[in-house]
Structure 1
Amino acid sequence: MKDSIGQITQEDIEFYKTNGYWISPVLFDEQEIEEMRQAHDRIWSFDYDGDGFPLDEWRPSNNPKLLRKIDNSWWINDTIRKTVTNPVLGRIAAGLMESSEARLWYDQVIHKPGTGIKDKDAQASGNVGWHQDYIYWRCTNTENLVTAWIALQDTDLTNGCMSVVPGSHEWGLLEGSDAFFNRDLESVKARIAAESGKEWKEVPMLLKAGQVSFHHSLTIHGSGQNYSEEPRLSVVAHLMPHGTAYQNRGFNVDNIRLLGPRPKEGQVFDNEYFPVAYSKKT
């Protein structure tokens, strides 16, 4: 990745602040994409770097016909670690968050299976329900976190690209937005639209291989079926701004995605469990 391609403008930042998302130019080259695809293969085969395990020692299904998601694979795959802490990715995230720093909150590696047919019954294998990321993260003193979604192939509606609801990051946290694993997109949409009382508009994130979509932690997003013959692969980095600290917002601590020892109120997430992707000071 060339360092020069990670520059963003004030216009880019204003677009993100208004819409809750922004799409980068191509950031990763063909070799980097191939390395990430190989990392997918190794992860789903339980071929880990080192002797550790991913978050909570949770091991995903190796069934290629199912939606597969694994958290904190940077612990067990060196390529993913290099990707999600890439300083260009971090600099863009820091710019969008208007922060001097971007640290990794955690990562995800996602495999959406291809069905090869437009089959209503097959939707259960690949849909990702409409949700806000922050509904699962209610343990920080800020909601100003950003998700960077890296496409490992050209991605559009035919193979289940992500769609976002522009401006929904301004709607506040919605209790009905915890539907990642709810495959019934229409019923989830109806519930969230009713709770928000806002007009619903969807924008698909149409990406070339190596492009990255960035969205705010409160931006509502989801994705539909992959009708292609090939799986839709992605690597996702969730990043947080400088000074992000633990704040107990009443969420069940056992379900909070905290890494390492449980923190105390006000403790800043600034240790080795949350590596720096970019810092203006360095």
Structure 2
Amino acid sequence: MSYTQTTEEEKQARLFYEENGYWISPVVFNAEEVEALRKAHDRIWNHDFDGDAYPLTEWFPDPNKPDRLRKIDNGWWINDEMYNAVTSRKLGKLAANLMNTSEVRLWYDQAIYKPGTGKGETSVGNVGWHQDWVYWQCTNTSNLVTAWVALQDTDLSNGCMQVIPGSHKWGLLNSDGFFNTELEAVRKQMEVEEKPWREEPLILKAGQVSFHHALTIHGSRQNFSNDPRLSIVAHYIPHGTAYKRVQNVDNIRLLGPRPKEGDLFDNQYFPLAYSASEE
């Protein structure tokens, strides 16, 4: 089902997104909400979890390498503030407009912590160029969108995300590079020398959100500041998204029972973030 009840601003946002593969929102979360999410980060990294569950996957750096990026998947499962944010109607409705769908569910989320290095140029903390759908081919559509919520002013000085505008139209590439910090090596691996490669930094104020398509190439460089760069990231699926079995591609981040071919991701493990029927 398409989501057609749009304002002129929503139409312009969708047109920009469809052309470029990304879009930056106005401020969505106010200062109080941002502070609450920063505190949620602290609790998550200290393993102070809400409820009885554990996070499904987490990636921490070597204790002897504190400059490395760290992330945790499915923070909503173990932190109430994360749950409220990533299933909020205000994020869900923005995602619905961009995906042109009547319903949005959370695929999964991430809390990402990029330590400040406060020193000269290095690959430490880089996130390699990649497309999210490389990891999500167990869905029957690539029409997924990621919402990246800045929990502080974010720019090139502290390692903001960068996207390659229009790359969502290039198809699925050899881009399994998230943890490869050598960005130029990853770019060569992707074989995009003949493509119009332009790196666009997504500069955000605290509480702003950038959205990008599941096929949009993106990555980030190091955090040169002395403070960590914090973000929460919500990945969303449109109405009708179902499981597709692809050999050697099984998303280990999925919660709940192992799905069968054609099963819809429409249960409690993929919470509803927006439905046009509730308008």
- Classify the TM-score, shorter chain: over 0.9
1: CA distance between counterparts of 2:34 and 2:70?
A: 19
> Contact between 1:7 and 1:92, CA under 8 Å: does it hold in 2?
no
Match of 2:229 in 1: 232
* Matched residue, 1:263: 259
Conserved 8 A contact 2:135-2:249: no
Partner of 1:191: 189
Distance in 2 of aligned mates of 1:7 and 1:35:
32
Q: Which amino acid aligns with 1:259?
A: L
Cα drift, residue 80 of structure 1: 0.2
Structure 1's 202 and 59: CA in aligned 2 closer, same or farther, altered over 3 A?
A: closer
Does the 8 A contact of 1:8 with 1:92 survive in 2?
A: no
Matches within 5 A, 1:111-190: 111-120=113-122, 123-124=123-124, 126-174=125-173, 176-190=174-188
SS for the counterpart of 1:137 is coil
Runs of 4+ in structure 1 displaced over 4 angstroms?
61-64
Task: Tell me if structure 2 keeps the 8 A contact 1:8–1:95.
Answer: no
CA drift at 1:59: 6.6
Identity %: 61
Alignment correspondent of 1:248: 245
Residues 1:59 and 1:205: Cα distance change in structure 2 (over 3 Å): closer
What's the offset of the Cα at 1:8?
4.4
- The alignment yields a C-alpha RMSD, in angstroms, of 1.7
Decide whether the 8 Å contact of 1:139 with 1:251 is kept in 2.
Answer: no
Deviation sequence 1:207-240 (CA, Å, 0-9, x none): 0000000000000000001000100000000000
CA 1:235–1:8: 2 relative to 1, 3 Å:
farther
Secondary structure in 2 matching 1:55: coil
CA distance in 1, matches of 2:50, 2:13: 37
Q: Distance in 2 between matches of 1:177 and 1:272?
A: 31
* Alignment partner, residue 218 of structure 1: 215
CA distance in 1, matches of 2:62, 2:30: 28
Following the alignment from structure 1 to structure 2, what is the Cα–Cα distance between the partners of residues 35 and 267? 36
Does the residue aligned with 1:25 lie in a helix, a strand or coil? strand
- Does residue 95 of the first structure (1) align with residue 97 of the second (2)? yes
**2:273 equivalent in structure 1:** 277
* Corresponding residue for residue 4 of structure 2: none
Deviation of the 1:62 alpha carbon: 9.0
**Secondary structure, in 3 states, of the residue corresponding to 1:281?**
helix
Structure 2, gaps ≥5 residues long: 1-6
Report the TM-score when normalising by structure 1: 0.92
Residues 19 and 167, structure 1, Cα contact 8 Å, conserved in 2: yes
CA contact (8 A) 1:248 1:265 kept: yes
- 2: CA distance, partners of 1:7 / 1:42: 40
| Residue among 78, 81, 85 paired with 2:80 | 78
- How many pairs align? 270
1:278 shift after superposition: 0.3
Q: C-alpha distance in 2, partners of 1:278/1:90? A: 5
- C-alpha displacement of 1:15: 0.4
- Tell me which of 63, 69, 74 is aligned to 1:67: 69
From the superposition, tell whether residues 196 and 108 of structure 1 become closer, same or farther in structure 2 (CA, over 3 Å). farther
Q: Which amino acid aligns with 1:30?
A: A
Instruction: Structure 1: give runs of 5+ residues left out of the alignment.
Output: 1-5
How has the CA–CA distance of structure 1 residues 29 and 111 changed in structure 2, closer, same or farther, with 3 Å as cutoff?
Answer: same
Measure, in 1, the Cα distance between the counterparts of 2:240 and 2:232: 25
Aligned to 1:50: 51
Structure 2: how far apart are the matches of 1:45 and 1:8? 41
Question: Could you tell me which amino acid in structure 2 is paired with residue 141 of structure 1?
Answer: N
| Match of residue 3 from structure 2 | none
Residues 139 and 256 in structure 1, CA contact (< 8 A), matched pair in contact too: no
Q: Residue by residue, what CA displacement relative to the aligned partner does 1:42-100 show, whole Å, maximum 9, x if unpaired? A: 000010011210015x4745955321100001010000000000101000000000000
1:127/1:228 Cα in 2 relative to 1: closer, same or farther (>3 Å)?
Answer: same
Counterparts of 2:258 and 2:75, CA distance in 1: 20
Distance 1:62 1:102, change over 3 A: farther
Report if the CA contact (8 A) 1:129-1:181 is conserved.
yes
Q: TM-score, normalised by structure 2?
A: 0.93
